[in-house]
Every structure is written in structure tokens, then in C-alpha cells.
Chains A and B, each alone.
Chain A
């Protein structure tokens, strides 16, 4: 019985799709940078590029955490609120005299706790991820406002606030944080079995379970990582703006989701990468930055972002369907 000429033999492997999308996004990013560089002299100034990298860095880290969750066919709507909340926490701790390293560690642990809470709601209470993270989204803002009484906590710790303005080897320290997050994230998602388990759970949780995957632990892990990334961004934001305020980072969860989706993550689960969301975040940051420089009405930025999401995801779907 011949194997090669079998009628319904499988089509070509789709490993290349991920790389192809990555290259397309990289190409788009570079094209944008070139175009903006030509459109205005201000774009390529060191100051502007640094700003762009700093702003994009925070969305990028959020997007990576969000991607882990989306791969499991879930969603984390709370990350913006976590950023705001944790920026308050770290500011509060610093003002109370807690040592810097301890303040940061405690803040990150709070992120872990919130993520664990999400995992608990999903696994033990059986709540849809949308619902439990929506609940956190609303209530965390409330808790933050309660703690601060609606006011702002200023941070006088200079070492802390200087960090976000510093450069290391000519590149903003905030951008180095992206690399600090991206490398372990890549190892986790693509090179470790825990990453494979994320994909399996997102594809078919029951089949994963029957294959010996600890589905509950995998879900906890995804949400904890997402919340921890958000807590880290909260710390970075507090460093950047020098204050802790509960209303910050409004809408950042949508930026994170948009970045992830532009980066090729499927909201249906089981499809995603680390480089995709990073590129998506910086593309959005570039559009943001460019629009500001060109004095484009900020409303247009939102429209452009929306269109970009549609276009990129549409073509990605076509490519996936086409190779079937």
C-alpha cells in the first residue's frame, strides 16, 4: 500500500506560519519607523526613540502575560487594573519606609496572589475567565481608590524613579526589562513542557487531562504569570511617573489584548508566541508615538488601531486557512 500517493494525505506542515507572521510584523514595524522618520525629523531623535521604547515596553510585558492566558483559551481583563493597583501598593510601601527590594517583591507577590485568585475562581468555582477577571477589574480599582482615598501618593525614593529614566548601554532600562521578561517567557512557552501544556489545555482541556496534564495547575500558572507581569508593569509605571495613583493604566488591558492578537495569538486558544505580542505592542506604540508627533487627532489613533487589528488578524486567518 503506497503511502505517498494516498488520496487524503495531509497538507504541508504549518510551522512556517508563525515565522512568516513574525517576519511580516517585523517588516511592518520597520516600515512604520522608516515612514515616520521620513515624515518628521523629530521621530528619529534619541529622546523620541527612548520614549517610544519605554512606552511600548510596558504594553509589551503586559501582552506577554496576557498571551499565556489567551493560549489557554481564557482572557485576563484585569491587567490594567492590576497595574494601577500595584503602582499604588509599591508607592505606599516606599513611602512607609519599606526597603526598595522588599517593596518590589511584596508588590510582585500581590500580583501572584491576584492571579491565584483568578485561578481559584476558574478552577474551583467554575467561573468563566471573562467573568472572574472582569470582577477583579472593577473591584481592584475600588480597593485602590479606598486605600489612597482617591488621592495620589508621591514617591520620593530617587533611586526608584531614576531607574525608568536611566539608560544601559544606550538603551532605556525599561526596554531591558522587556528582554528580561521575554527570554524566560520564550523558554517557558516554546522550550519547556509547561508551555506545551498551555497549548494543550487551550486546545482540548479534557484530552490534556486524560493525557496526564495537570490542567488545574496549568490554569493557575497562566493567570499567575499574567497577573505577575501586570504587577511588574505596575512597579515600572510607578517608577516612570513617580506617583502611585489608582486610576492609572485605564484601558491597558485592551492594549495588551490587541497587541497579543496582532501578534498572531488566537482568541480561541492554542495559538500564540512570545515574539508576536512583543512586535504587536511596539507597532501600537509606534503608531501612538507617530500620531502624536504628526499632531494627528488622538481619536484617529484609536481608529487606526482598530483597523490594524482587523487587517492583521484577517490576513493571518487567510494564511492559516489557505495552508489547510
Chain B
């Protein structure tokens, strides 16, 4: 047995359970029959009948709000179903608590890392399930076991390292290792590659395929079509809480899936608005600061300048320097041909720069405050007469942005935390639309955002360009930045290493420049 399997069968009862509930490869291991979840009158998941087979990689695709999270929560015992049946290895089960799911070997790796950054990797992997002898933890043994498991999985991570010192991508891998260690019968991945580098994604895929060889069923949820087609055996589509179909990967294509998801075609998604480029809005010459060195580029009105690179290549750091959040140590910035000094964020805003930052949660939103307050935050001065806010203008401004961006909320008083990823991103963007900026910096605007919202955001880019704005688009998702940029700059190690005109280089060239291979 691999060290992973040894770890997951540490508990006798789990081992026994695992032996008694086995199903041959290819046979149904988890069957949902009319599984439904209602919150009051709202049907988060309409009666769904889906069968998961043992040893398959089953992808699930669908827009945000389509019911994917609800499905995951039902399967992992976080919420209880309103109606329907769930059969595990042919027998009806409740799955009413997370522990029940875990004891059967059903585990999930979530989009956001929910571990303890102050503890070590090994401690996190064994959290809640520590090795004990007579009440004392066997730290040495746990560390060794954790390291063995990580090596077994092919993740090059030190088990003794403090989790918070790793990159987000690496932390995701630890979360994956933890889940794989718990119960490897049924593993659900929710947008696992959002924060992973290309290498880490490759490691993850190797692990997923290996688990499949060992008979584990993988449920893979992702917005990235190319990953779905690379990995999955079958794919199910959810739309508006309904299960609209399941296909064998070989018998379908991206167009059909997208059509099932949103009733729109792929050509309409990467909609490149051809706008005549105007004057140069901003130019940087030899700009350096924390995390970036000697960056020279310019942005004209009506154009999208793309910054591509791996995570940590210095693009976000450059953006924060331009925005006045971080001090610039060398170089110059020219705005409309005039040399300027951007001392802080307010100075940047006054010039006409807007920043939609990389992390919605940490930098973009005040999650426990209402959507309306978030949207109005940059423009409250304009909405006030003296010290007092003009309430009607405040309400109108928020409502207008909610309408403009089609943010799905019954009112502006709802807290931002209640929104899905795509809607949250719209709030982040909506903040800046009434500000009247001329340069928009979008840092990873479509991470964790569903296809339909992505298309809306791209269309919004087009409208901003038509109004004469310039856009800096920072993205680690090559198809996106490749299709949309009029000029594409590649960053590596804090420097701008290459520049290309629209689609002038190949995907491979750009990738090579980013990796530095």
C-alpha cells in the first residue's frame, strides 16, 4: 500500500467500512436520485439525478449560481437535502454531517484555502486527526508521515515549513494532500488551479490521474474548459440549479458544453472590441519599486495592455507602485505627457487611475458591509454636500452600478459576503465605473468567475475602451490575456522581458518567456 493509503486506513473502523463498501471500477459508487435543496422558496438545486462511477474523473461545469457549491455541500454533509435519495455503493445514506461524509471517504478541496497559516504543513495535514500515544502528540512521527505522503504525491514541499510561508498555490497543494490523506474514495476539487502555477497544476493533474488508477472517484469542478477536456472522463452541466445533462468527454466539445451552460457560443465570449487607439494616457520609464525593476511601458486610450507572467513575476507589484500604494524607488511616470509623482492612492485616483486588485477578499471588498457601501466607497466625497451624504445620490449611484453590471442582488443593502465570486468581482469593478477614471488596472479580474460573467466583464472592457479609457489587464490565464491584449508584455522575476503586438507571438513563445526556460 502506498503511504497515502496507509494513512487513510489508520482508523480501524474506517478500514473495515472501506472493505465492506466496495464497488468494482466503472460501477456506480454514488448515485443521486432527485436530490433537491430548497432554501424557503428558493430552489438552490432542483431535483437532480446524477451517477458517479468508481474510478472516474467526473467534471462538473456551470455558471456561478448554477448550484455547484450547493451540490458540494450536500455531498460533503455540510447541508441537508430537502428531498431525494443518495445511494453510496448501492445503499441509501444520509450524509447529514461532514463527519459522516469523511468516514465514507468523501472529501473536498475548496477554492479558498481553509487551513491554519501559523501552523506547520504537517500540523495542518493532521489537524483534527493527530497521531496520539497516551494523550501526547507524536509530532516527530506526524512530520515524517506527512513528508512521506507529500513525497508520495510528488509535491515538493517541506512538511516542517510554516503553512503561511508558502505561496497560495502551495497551500492549495497541502489542502489537497490533506484531503487525499483522509479518505481516498471520493474526492471533490473546486476550482483547484485558480492559484496554481503551471508546474503545480501539472503536479495536481498527475496526482488526480494516479488517484484514478487507484480506483478513486474524482469530481472536478472548473471554469477552465481546457482542463476539463484534458482530465475528465465524463462531464455534467448545471444551469440555474438544474442538471441539464451529462456527456462522455469524447462525445462532446467546448461549444456544446458552453451552449448547455449559458445558451451562448464561444465566439461571443472573447469578444475583442476593435477600437482605434488614441493618445498615450500614461507612460512609465524605468520604473522600479518593491518587487519590480526597470519597467517601461505605455498605455493609450482605447487599448488594452496585457501583463502576463507567473504568480510572483512582479506585475501586481508594478500595478501597486503605479497606483501609489507602494513607494516607487526609481524611474518616472508620465501622465498625458506630464511628469507626475504618485505619492498615494488618492493621488492616483485624482489623476484618473482605478485599480481592481488581485484579491477580492483581502484587497477589493469590505465583505461584511453592504454592496451599496462598497460601490460608493471611492466616490463618497462627490456624493456629499459638506459633511453630510446626499442619501438619494448615494442610493442612485449604487443602484445604477448594480443595474449596469447586472449584479444579482435584490437590493444594495445585502452584504457583499453573500454574493458569488462573479458578482463580487462585479462589485469591485462597479466601484470604479462612477469614478470617471481614464486608466483602469484590472488585476486577475476573472479568477473564480463563471463563463457568463466573464463574457460580461470582457464586454465591459470594450465599452470602457470606447469611452476613451485605457486598460492594463494583469492575468495569469494565457488564453484570456492573449485574446484581449492589443499589446502583451511578459514579466519574469520582476522585469518586463518581452513585448508583443496583438497575437503576434505564439502561445508557446509567450509561455517560454514567462517561465524562462
Assess the B411–A13 pair: CB atoms within 8 A: yes
Q: Report the bound CA distance from A214 to B325 in whole Å.
A: 12
**Residue B505 interfacial (CB < 8 Å):** no
**Residue B210 interfacial (CB < 8 Å):** no
Q: Report the bound CA distance from A204 to B263 in whole Å.
A: 38
Instruction: Note all chain A residues with C-beta closer than 8 A to B376.
Output: 196
Assess the A203–B346 pair: CB atoms within 8 A: no
Q: How far is the CB of A137 from chain B (nearest CB, A)?
A: 29
Assess the B413–A187 pair: CB atoms within 8 A: no
| A:1-18 near B, CB below 8 Å | 1-3, 5-15
Assess the A187–B44 pair: CB atoms within 8 A: no
| A:209-223 near B, CB below 8 Å | 209-214
- Which has the most chain A C-beta neighbours within 10 Å: B364, B376, B377? B377
* Total of A-B residue pairs, C-beta within 8 Å: 130
Assess the A211–B64 pair: CB atoms within 8 A: no
Instruction: Note all chain A residues with C-beta closer than 8 A to B42.
Output: 5, 7, 9
Assess the A211–B452 pair: CB atoms within 8 A: no
Pick 23 A–B contacts, CB within 8 A, sort by A: A1-B263, A3-B406, A5-B241, A6-B65, A7-B43, A7-B44, A7-B45, A8-B65, A8-B420, A9-B65, A9-B410, A10-B418, A14-B413, A191-B391, A192-B387, A193-B383, A199-B366, A207-B365, A210-B357, A210-B363, A211-B431, A270-B366, A270-B368
**Residue B96 interfacial (CB < 8 Å):** no
Instruction: Note all chain A residues with C-beta closer than 8 A to B369.
Output: 199-200, 203, 270
Q: How far is the CB of B258 from chain A (nearest CB, A)?
A: 13
- Which has the most chain B C-beta neighbours within 10 Å: A8, A211, A212? A211
With contacts A2-B240, A192-B384, A196-B380 taken as known, whether A10 is within 8 angstroms of B409 at the C-beta atoms is yes
Instruction: Note all chain A residues with C-beta closer than 8 A to B383.
Output: 193
Instruction: Note all chain A residues with C-beta closer than 8 A to B387.
Output: 187-188, 192-194
Assess the A213–B240 pair: CB atoms within 8 A: no
**Residue A324 interfacial (CB < 8 Å):** yes
**Residue A293 interfacial (CB < 8 Å):** no
Assess the B69–A8 pair: CB atoms within 8 A: yes
A5, A200, A214: which contacts B373 (Cβ < 8 A)? A200
Q: Report the bound CA distance from A82 to B90 in whole Å.
A: 70
A194, A203, A214: which contacts B366 (Cβ < 8 A)? A203
Instruction: Note all chain A residues with C-beta closer than 8 A to B43.
Output: 5, 7
Instruction: Note all chain B residues with C-beta closer than 8 A to A214.
Output: 346
**Residue B295 interfacial (CB < 8 Å):** no
Nearest neighbor of B432 in chain A, beta-carbon distance: A211
Q: Report the bound CA distance from A197 to B374 in whole Å.
A: 11
**Residue A167 interfacial (CB < 8 Å):** no
Q: Report the bound CA distance from A213 to B373 in whole Å.
A: 13
Q: Report the bound CA distance from A197 to B380 in whole Å.
A: 9
Assess the A212–B373 pair: CB atoms within 8 A: no
Q: How far is the CB of A4 from chain B (nearest CB, A)?
A: 8
With contacts A191-B389, A204-B365, A210-B355 taken as known, whether A11 is within 8 angstroms of B414 at the C-beta atoms is yes
B388, B415, B418, B419: which contacts A192 (Cβ < 8 A)? B388
With contacts A13-B410, A204-B366 taken as known, whether A7 is within 8 angstroms of B67 at the C-beta atoms is yes
Assess the B408–A6 pair: CB atoms within 8 A: yes
**Residue A208 interfacial (CB < 8 Å):** yes
Q: How far is the CB of B398 from chain A (nearest CB, A)?
A: 12
Assess the B408–A9 pair: CB atoms within 8 A: yes
Nearest neighbor of B452 in chain A, beta-carbon distance: A1
Assess the A203–B44 pair: CB atoms within 8 A: no
**Residue B131 interfacial (CB < 8 Å):** no
Q: How far is the CB of B346 from chain A (nearest CB, A)?
A: 5
**Residue B480 interfacial (CB < 8 Å):** no
| B:369-404 near A, CB below 8 Å | 369-370, 373, 376-378, 380-381, 383-384, 387-389, 391
**Residue B230 interfacial (CB < 8 Å):** no
B44, B325, B410: which contacts A8 (Cβ < 8 A)? B44
**Residue B66 interfacial (CB < 8 Å):** yes
Q: Report the bound CA distance from A23 to B243 in whole Å.
A: 45
**Residue A262 interfacial (CB < 8 Å):** no
A15, A191, A200: which contacts B413 (Cβ < 8 A)? A15
Instruction: Note all chain B residues with C-beta closer than 8 A to A5.
Output: 42-43, 240-241
- 1/0 per position for B441-472, CB-CB distance to A under 8 A? 00000000000100000000000000000000
**Residue A162 interfacial (CB < 8 Å):** no
**Residue B362 interfacial (CB < 8 Å):** yes
Q: How far is the CB of B80 from chain A (nearest CB, A)?
A: 16
Q: Report the bound CA distance from A10 to B424 in whole Å.
A: 12
Q: How far is the CB of B470 from chain A (nearest CB, A)?
A: 19
Q: Report the bound CA distance from A191 to B391 in whole Å.
A: 8
Q: Report the bound CA distance from A6 to B450 in whole Å.
A: 14
**Residue A271 interfacial (CB < 8 Å):** yes
Instruction: Note all chain A residues with C-beta closer than 8 A to B413.
Output: 13-15
Instruction: Note all chain B residues with C-beta closer than 8 A to A7.
Output: 42-45, 65-67, 70, 240-241
**Residue A250 interfacial (CB < 8 Å):** no
Assess the A10–B408 pair: CB atoms within 8 A: yes
Nearest neighbor of A268 in chain B, beta-carbon distance: B368
| A:59-76 near B, CB below 8 Å | none
With contacts A8-B65, A8-B70, A200-B369 taken as known, whether A210 is within 8 angstroms of B380 at the C-beta atoms is no
Q: Report the bound CA distance from A270 to B416 in whole Å.
A: 13
Q: Report the bound CA distance from A14 to B368 in whole Å.
A: 11
B263, B381, B388: which contacts A191 (Cβ < 8 A)? B388
Q: Report the bound CA distance from A188 to B419 in whole Å.
A: 29
**Residue B83 interfacial (CB < 8 Å):** no
Instruction: Note all chain B residues with C-beta closer than 8 A to A211.
Output: 345, 377-378, 431
Assess the A271–B380 pair: CB atoms within 8 A: no
Q: How far is the CB of B223 from chain A (nearest CB, A)?
A: 15
- 1/0 per position for B235-272, CB-CB distance to A under 8 A? 00000110000000000000000000011000000000
**Residue B367 interfacial (CB < 8 Å):** yes
Instruction: Note all chain A residues with C-beta closer than 8 A to B64.
Output: 8
Q: Report the bound CA distance from A258 to B366 in whole Å.
A: 26
7 additional contacts, CB 8 Å, given A7-B65, A9-B42, A9-B408? A6-B65, A10-B418, A13-B414, A14-B413, A14-B414, A196-B380, A207-B362
Q: How far is the CB of B479 from chain A (nearest CB, A)?
A: 23
Assess the A203–B414 pair: CB atoms within 8 A: no
Instruction: Note all chain B residues with C-beta closer than 8 A to A324.
Output: 418
Instruction: Note all chain B residues with C-beta closer than 8 A to A15.
Output: 370, 413
Instruction: Note all chain A residues with C-beta closer than 8 A to B325.
Output: 209-210
Instruction: Note all chain A residues with C-beta closer than 8 A to B415.
Output: 14
**Residue B188 interfacial (CB < 8 Å):** no
Instruction: Note all chain B residues with C-beta closer than 8 A to A213.
Output: 377
Instruction: Note all chain A residues with C-beta closer than 8 A to B146.
Output: none
- Which has the most chain B C-beta neighbours within 10 Å: A6, A14, A270? A6
